[in-house]
Structure 1
Amino acid sequence: MSTYDVARMRGDADTVFAAAVHAVDAEQCVKSFVALSGDTLSIDDQEYDLGNFDRVMAIGAGKATPRMAVALESVLGDRITTGLINTKYEHTEPLSHIETVECGHPVPDQSGVEGTNRILGLLDEADERTLVICLLSGGGSAILPAPVDGISLEDKQETTRLLLSCGANIVELNAVRKHLSRVKGGGLARSAFPATVVALMLSDVIGDPLDVIASGPTVPDTSTYKTCAEIFSKYDLTDALPTSVAERLRLGLAGEVADTPKPGDEALSRVQNVVVGSNGLAVAAARMKAEELGYNTIVLTTRLEGEAREIAQVYSSIGKEILSSGRPVPPPACIIAGGETTVTVAGSGKGGRNQELALAAAQQISGWAPIVIFSGGTDGTDGPTDAAGAVSDGDTISRAEAAGLSPNDFLKNNDAYHFFKPLDDLVMTGPTGTNVADVAFVMVGDA
């Protein structure tokens, strides 16, 4: 019997994933950057004398923002004058000084609009003696909706659905969101001016670009209406856009409506932006844990992107190469990657990018028993499901076929959730309180 057999590797994959998620716990990430000594609030390399402020506001949005708020309350306590955050349904945490509004994700809903309007109402009261601490995390783009005049929530929802279904990546999606919003792309900071704003960001975006995390509500925007037009053209969506969105695009291209704030805009001159956690931290922790468990490891990338099915083929090829030749590292091996894939939706099933990747990989490694492929979202929710992801191995397809499940049919219908559920191969963590995109492992045993 192999020392690193499939049963052990599947258990080890869960352990490595848990270590990755723990390393980016939103509460601890914030506490590592924020400290209070007397009246001096230290945030990264900046110090703020709270005696210079009459009010301290806490605002924000994202799936991990409630955990970030727990940390902020533990540091500032009743020094927080008022606070309001938006988060995804069922992602709340007990808070004493900061109110929480639950909202829709990944498609924005009316609750999100109402919560965002209330946040903007708080910012209307901000002045030069106000310190605004903004807590931003993955999901913030959908969870902080404030459509520009002339565009309804329904039209914004439809535009989001179009982009999600065609396989647009997060950078492209957020560029469009900024130009349909009053708060994204620096709009929130503009609303807070002349207050001092500190944004603490938990990044779920490849490379951690500040202007893309939660669509950059406190950051100058480098995208333009021309960028949006090119995105719509790339995915052949121009003629499918809601009329109001197409009209906004026309006006923007013609210079008849103002673009988002750009670098050098005075409204963003009193802002400090700090990334407190990222995918790189999660991947590093995963590697450390895998090595503790005895695996030879390689970090493939923290910038993974592309179609989930195509990435699955790459992962599978790496696993087979290790098993066949011991390259690039010999078994027992754990190849680790972080980032975020996409899915071009053609069916009507239920699933997410991690589940789709695992299903496509299962077909590729069928019969290669000592290979395990695990893919999971660090937030605990993969797409519109209650699963973080899924795990597959060389026996997954044979077990599925014995249960009367056709892998091809489920993959064609983008229905990975219902493929893996009866096999008990979904990764179920519940909401984790963090969100730094996805991590995946290719594990190869010493057969």
Structure 2
Amino acid sequence: MKIRNREELTSHGYRQGRKLALDIIEYALEKVDPYRATKASVRLCGRTLMVGDYSFDLGKVENIYVVGAGKATFPIARAIEEILGERITEGIIAVKDNQKRPLKRITVEEASHPVPDERGLQVCRKVFEIAEKAGSKDIVFCLITGGSSALCPCPVDGIPFSDKKIVHRLLVTSGADIMEINTVRRHLSAIKGGRLTSRILPATIINLTVSDVIGDDIDWNTDWTTADPTTLEDAVQVLKKYHLWEKIPDSVRTYLSEPSPEKETPKDFTGKLLYSHMVVKSRTLCEAAAEKVRDMGLTPYLLSSSFGCESREAGRFLASIAREVKLTGNPFRPPCVLIAGGENVVAVDAGAQGFGGPNQELAASAALELKDFDTIVVCTMDSDGTDGPTPFAGALVDSSTWRTATEKGFDVFRTLIDHNVTPMLKETGDLIDAGADTGTNVNDLVLCIIH
């Protein structure tokens, strides 16, 4: 079981709907398990290594190296080590705090997320050391999953690491989506935007990833080694769009204001021995949820797998559909379950001192709109088990949330404005505890059960 506080979550409110929501989540998370997916798609047959549709003759390979970082990287590394065993020469991966488990051939190090720290920088330097050992008869596995930007950071020359951390912090609270955030990060990183490839070549590169990007674009998921279509000017425009240009450190602004061919990221790796395989797609989470709903005898409606707006507004939008369904049977007849996936954002004003995350804000916003509807449940969580900077995965709410919060002295609307929903949801008993680690990391999952 991924959810640790199931008893608390189902002890109040619309219990039947809450139990259904948690059953759906548990099933969906199992279906996006990176360890199982890797074991299913990477196989060793004699001396032939099969990776998805690709095959590699290990009889011609001298060394196999493994590098990587991310919130879903450890289970992939574990599977690769079990498959290849002593064929692995050396490896290192970075995982978030409390994810570290021992492996025999691959070193596992913890680092900070979402804002990077020195531990991640040290891992990145070791990744470079391994990459530069690789020769033309070697294979380098790159296990890149969501969170790698923070867990394995290294700024380009001319930008202090402390300044790169400031940019990370500004971006994740700006309201920018993950592709915009990574557009900036790529151009300030010595490893992202395909820059690691130049250190690894002429060795063969095999990317394995779990998608946490809307649309499951392989290049955005594996951007240590794949060519970068964005430019320095694109990074500048993102910073200006979110009014960050004047807030970023001088070193970053100077670097981006003086473009040159040498500063640009690689744009083309045609003809290089570069292979990528996605072991889990983000959309699979929503599809698995729909499958479980059907097994329960209910009707699922997958609204979108690409939610990507302000979390408060996403909550209001979802609640408005739920009310319409309940009151008029339009556009769907109850009982039914609305499903959505993606990655919503929260724009936090400078100086805000609240504590919360995008999924918790979505849930609190929905709860405010559904306070008069006793048989509607909204459940929303980050699939990796941590919503924003909190140790909680998300929240499970219904009409009891607003009533309990009000009785305990909370103004639900005010907590949303102040981005301080976690303390309120903790008091109402509606926070989802997944132990800060589910073992996977695709997109968020949003459920709305309507009876």
Measured after TM superposition, the shift of residue 264 of structure 1 is 4.1
Counterparts of 2:85 and 2:185 in 1: how far apart (Å)?
Answer: 34
Distance in 2 between residues matched to 1:395 and 1:323, nearest whole Å: 17
1:57 aligns with 2:57: no
Q: What letter matches 2:16 in structure 1?
A: R
Report the secondary structure of 1:238's partner residue: coil
SS of 2:19's partner is helix
Q: Which amino acid aligns with 1:442?
A: C
Structure 1 residue 93, shift from structure 2 partner: 2.9
8 Å Cα contact 1:295/1:333 also seen in 2: yes
* Residue in structure 1 matching 2:56, options 17, 41, 48: 48
- Residue 313 (1) aligns with residue 324 (2): no
Query: How many angstroms apart in 1 are the aligned matches of 2:370 and 2:196?
Result: 47
C-alpha distance in 2, partners of 1:81/1:348? 47
1:373 paired to 2:378: yes
Q: 1:194 & 1:182 partners in 2: Cα distance?
A: 19
- 8 Å CA contact 1:365–1:394 kept in 2: the answer is yes
The residue correspondences of 1:28-177 to structure 2 (distance < 5 A) are: 28-177=36-185
Q: After superposition, give the CA deviation of every residue in 1:271-316 in whole Å (9 maximum; x if it has no partner).
A: 1011111221111111111121222111111111110011111100
Q: Is it true that 1:426 corresponds to 2:431 in the alignment?
A: yes
Larger deviation, residues 383-392 vs 86-95: 86-95
* Residue in 1 that maps onto 2:227: 220
Match of 2:446, as an amino acid?
Answer: A
Q: 1:153 offset after TM fit, Å?
A: 1.4
- How many angstroms apart in 1 are the aligned matches of 2:379 and 2:37? 25
Residues 223-262 of structure 1 mapped to structure 2, 5 A cutoff: 223-252=230-259, 255=260, 257-262=262-267
Q: Which runs of 5+ in 1 are unaligned?
A: none
CA distance in 1 between partners of 2:255 and 2:220 (Å): 21
- Measured in 1, the distance between the counterparts of 2:268 and 2:137 equals 24
Correspondence for 1:390 = 395
Partner residue of 2:444?
Answer: 438
Cα distance between partner residues in 2 of 1:342 and 1:207: 17
Secondary structure of 2:188's aligned partner: coil
The answer to whether the aligner puts 1:294 opposite 2:301 as a matched pair is: no
Separation in structure 2 between the aligned mates of residue 299 and residue 340 of structure 1, nearest angstrom: 15
- The AA in structure 1 aligned to 2:83 is V
Q: 1:438 corresponds to which letter in structure 2?
A: D
Letter in 2 for 1:286: A
Letter of the 1:432 partner, please give it: T
- 2:284 pairs with 1:276: no
Report the identity percentage: 36
TM-score by length of 1: 0.95
Unpaired runs of at least 5, structure 2: 1-12
Q: In 2, Cα distance between the equivalents of 1:195 and 1:366? A: 59
Question: Is this contact kept in 1: 2:378–2:397, CA < 8 A?
Answer: yes
> Does the 8 Å CA contact 1:251/1:257 hold for their aligned counterparts?
no
List per-residue Cα deviations over 1:136-177 (Å, max 9, x = no partner): 111112112011111111101111111112111100100111
SS of 1:179 mapped into structure 2? helix
Q: CA deviation at 1:67?
A: 0.8
Runs of 4+ displaced beyond 4 Å? none
* Residue 332 (structure 1) aligned to one of 330, 335, 340: 335
Instruction: Give the 3-state SS of the residue equivalent to 2:359 in structure 1.
Output: helix
| CA shift for structure 1 position 256 | 5.9
- Per-residue deviation, 1:107: 0.8
Q: CA RMSD in A?
A: 1.3
In structure 1, the residue matched to 2:359 is: 354
Give, in whole Å, the separation in 2 of the partners of 1:93 and 1:23: 22
**Equivalent runs, 1:193-208 vs 2, <5 Å:** 193-208=201-216
Q: CA deviation at 1:31?
A: 1.4
Alignment pair present for 1:285 and 2:288:
yes
How far 1:126 moved relative to its partner? 0.6
